[in-house]
């Protein structure tokens, strides 16, 4: 995606010496990828939160009207659109990962009891 290359890697101290004093919770696409590969995200909200953090950090550091922030906004919006296309599949997979998300309370109840029985 055009403009995403600015957010591939963590901001270096060399390229932006004051970045860490302005941005308290840095986030970049490489870190998001590492979270994906480590299966750290269990819901799309967690994934979206990190994408949003990339966008918000850009606005905070570069300004809301910066071309970098415009690129971050575009990347964020495109990701949301792609997720909407896959909404049904995402919901099914999230429920498989975390049965507590299922509308059927019985599924969540059984899941908790199974956790108790396996001492997790």
Taking only the tens place, the pLDDT of each residue in 40-98 is 987 888 999 999 999 999 999 999 999 999 999 999 999 999 999 888 888 888 888 87
CATH of domain 4-85: 1.20.920.10
Give the separation between CA 116 and CA 9, rounded to whole angstroms: 41
120 pLDDT more than 60? no
Structure tokens at 64: 């809301």
Burial class (CB in 10 A: 0-12, 13-18, 19+), 69: buried
Domain boundaries, the chain: 4-85
State whether the Cα torsion 80-85-87-92 is positive or negative: negative
Question: Under a CB-based contact definition with an 8 Å cutoff, are residues 54 and 72 in contact?
Answer: yes
The Cα–Cα gap between 115 and 108 comes to: 11
For all residues of the chain together, what is the average pLDDT? Answer: 88
Question: Would you say residue 22 has pLDDT above 60?
Answer: yes
């Amino acid at each position: 995606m055009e403009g995403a290359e600015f957010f591939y890697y963590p901001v270096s101290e060399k390229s932006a010496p004051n970045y860490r004093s302005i941005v308290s919770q840095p986030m970049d696409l490489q870190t998001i990828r590492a979270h994906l590969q480590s299966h750290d995200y269990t819901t799309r909200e967690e994934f979206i939160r990190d994408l949003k953090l990339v966008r918000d950090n850009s606005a905070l550091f570069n300004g809301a009207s910066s071309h970098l922030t415009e690129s971050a906004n575009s990347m964020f919006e495109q990701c949301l659109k792609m997720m909407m296309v896959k909404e049904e599949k995402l919901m099914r997979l999230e429920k498989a990962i975390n049965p507590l998300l299922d509308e059927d309370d019985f599924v969540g109840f059984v899941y908790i009891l199974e956790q108790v029985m396996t001492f997790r």
